[in-house]
Amino acid sequence: MKNKIIAFLFMAIGTVASLHAQRQMTRTGHIWFISETPLETIEAHNNQVTSILDTEKGDIVFQALMKGFQFEKALMQEHFNEKYVESDKYPKATFKGSIINLDEIDFDKDGSYMAKAKGSLTVHGVVYEIEVNPVIKIEDGKILATAEFPVTVADYEIKIPSVVRDNIAKEVKVFVDVKYEAMGGSTN
């Protein structure tokens, strides 16, 4: 009887651990963007991005505080927050979506997988449906994801003054680099 109780406890702990591992998270994801024009290249990085990935359902969420983007020049950062994305009024950008080819990704097996994600990107208070093709790598049980996709500035009703219109690309390249940990563990 005692052995049956111990076996049951191990099975219960294993089931809870398995369910818990389905949700992966990071608070230190890295998102950056590059605006390239013949006149100027502008780049900004944000290393305080939160993301949750449900490996069972394929649901994925990202959140980035707009004031978390760091620019090379302080004046660029000030203009970005005050004039373009209006960070006080629209403090964060979010992506809520799903991996639509979840059956092609084995989260229990080391390897590199081409994923397809579809969802809503909200920037500057405007929601726009996008599709992204991230690469998901499984290394020693850790989930790493990278992606690159374009964002058209006008889609999000971001107004660029005519005096600097030629300095800012109409379409910026966005890059994502995250390392997930099972929820409840430390994040990287």
Distance CA 156, CA 79 (A): 17
Distance CA 15, CA 13 (A): 5
What pTM was computed for the model?
Answer: 0.84
List C-alpha distances in Å: 181 to 57, 97, 118, 129: 17, 19, 22, 27
What residues form DSSP beta bridges with 182?
24
The residue among 168, 175, 145 whose CA lies nearest residue 80 is 168
> CATH number of the domain at 24-182, out of 2.40.128.110, 3.40.50.720, 3.40.50.11400, 3.50.30.40?
2.40.128.110
- Give the pLDDT confidence of 97-145 residue by residue, as tens digits: 999 999 999 999 999 999 999 999 999 999 999 999 999 999 998 999 9
Q: Where are the alpha helices (DSSP H) in the chain?
A: 2-21, 74-79
- Give the pLDDT confidence of 64-110 residue by residue, as tens digits: 999 999 999 999 999 999 999 999 999 999 999 999 999 999 999 99
- Give the pLDDT confidence of 149-164 residue by residue, as tens digits: 999 999 999 998 888 8
